[in-house]
Amino acid sequence: MKIDIRRKNALNLIKDKSKFSNFDEYPVLKEDVDPQLHISRNGVDQPFFLVCQKDCTIAALTGKARVHFHDASVRYYDLLPGDHVYVPAGMPHRITAIEPGVHIRYKAREAGLEAVAWYCGNCDHEIDRYTWDTAKQVPQAGYLAGAERFNGTSERRICKSCGNEHSPLDLSPFRWADIAGTLA
């Protein structure tokens, strides 16, 4: 299904929020704008940690969320409307919804490599990671490919450190295939 959202340089993200869904990370400005703004309307938790090769910033427009950091001195930051959270390059981070809301991620137009990663809930060891080049694959296609690969076999969901097996992800709240098809 093609998503009908025009990229433009002037928009009302609050008025247009119904066009967006869970972790769409839809780029909303014209393609030549740097940094690019990616918008999502989230009511569920991000099902992975995102790792960006370049710095990014997350801004909350509405709702309440928590940004979790892996292997950092700061473990999380509560995100309220108006807050901006800087995420250093290479830092695994995950957004969990406390209240449904809209957030924007500021990313470099040429974002480089990105990855999705999963960590064990028991011992915090990395379970699986999928990396792609955003010049060759849009982020939403990478999210979907990584999540489907994680779900594809129980061996990918078993922690090699403690043996804990993690459940497959519920991908029904996400429309990454549609977004990727629209952006390709």
pLDDT of residue 128: 97
Q: What is the pTM of this model?
A: 0.91
Query: What average pLDDT does this structure show over 65-83?
Result: 95
pLDDT of residue 12: 66
What residue spans define the domains of the chain? 17-183
Picking from 122, 134, 121, the residue whose alpha carbon sits closest to that of residue 50 is 134
pLDDT of residue 16: 72
| 3-class state of residue 17 by DSSP | helix
Residue 124 CA to residue 141 CA, distance in Å, equals 26
pLDDT at 6 over 90: no
SS (H, E, C) 99-156: ECEEEEEEECCCCCEEEEEEECCCCCCEEEEEEEECCCCCHHHHHHHHHHHHHHCHHH
Query: What average pLDDT does this structure show over 91-112?
Result: 96
Q: What is the CATH number of domain 17-183?
A: 2.60.120.10
Range of 11-20, 22-31, 152-161 with top mean pLDDT: 152-161
Picking from 95, 97, 102, the residue whose alpha carbon sits closest to that of residue 41 is 102
- Convert the pLDDT of each residue in 21-46 to its tens digit: 999 999 988 888 899 999 999 999 99
